[in-house]
Amino acid sequence: MVKIRLARIGRHFDPSYRIVVTDSRNARDGAFIAQIGNYDPTGELKDAKIDEEKAIDWLLKGAIPSDTIRKMFTQNGIYAKYLEAKKSIKKAK
């Protein structure tokens, strides 16, 4: 199963995170398929830098976001765009 989740990077007591697409069996900081953004936890969830096109593309392919990533996508408006794109694809069929 492919998931979109956070992978920790940064120094001891100074974390930062990559937003990655990975196989659910991989370790948290292990190998990943694609990096679609980054997040600094000292700021807000909405301040995360995310490549919207890649995120929506992976969601349409069936990737499952973690709870934190789902909140991030919702606050940044990405999840609404994903639902819209999914609806338009369904209408086209």
Q: What is the CATH number that goes with domain 2-92?
A: 3.30.1320.10
- What's the pTM? 0.89
Structure tokens at 87: 């609806």
pLDDT score recorded for residue 92? 82
pLDDT score recorded for residue 39? 94
CB-CB neighbours of 83 under 10 Å: 12
Could you report the per-residue pLDDT of 34-82, keeping only the tens digit for each? Answer: 999 999 999 888 888 999 999 999 999 999 999 999 999 999 999 999 9
Average confidence (pLDDT) over 20-27: 95
Alpha-carbon gap, residue 80 to 88, rounded angstroms: 12
pLDDT score recorded for residue 90? 85
Which sequence spans correspond to the domains of the chain? 2-92
Alpha-carbon gap, residue 12 to 32, rounded angstroms: 22
Residues 6+ apart with CB under 8 A from 91: none
For the cut 80, the answer to whether the pLDDT of residue 93 exceeds it is no
The answer to whether the CB of 39 falls within 8 A of the CB of 53 is no
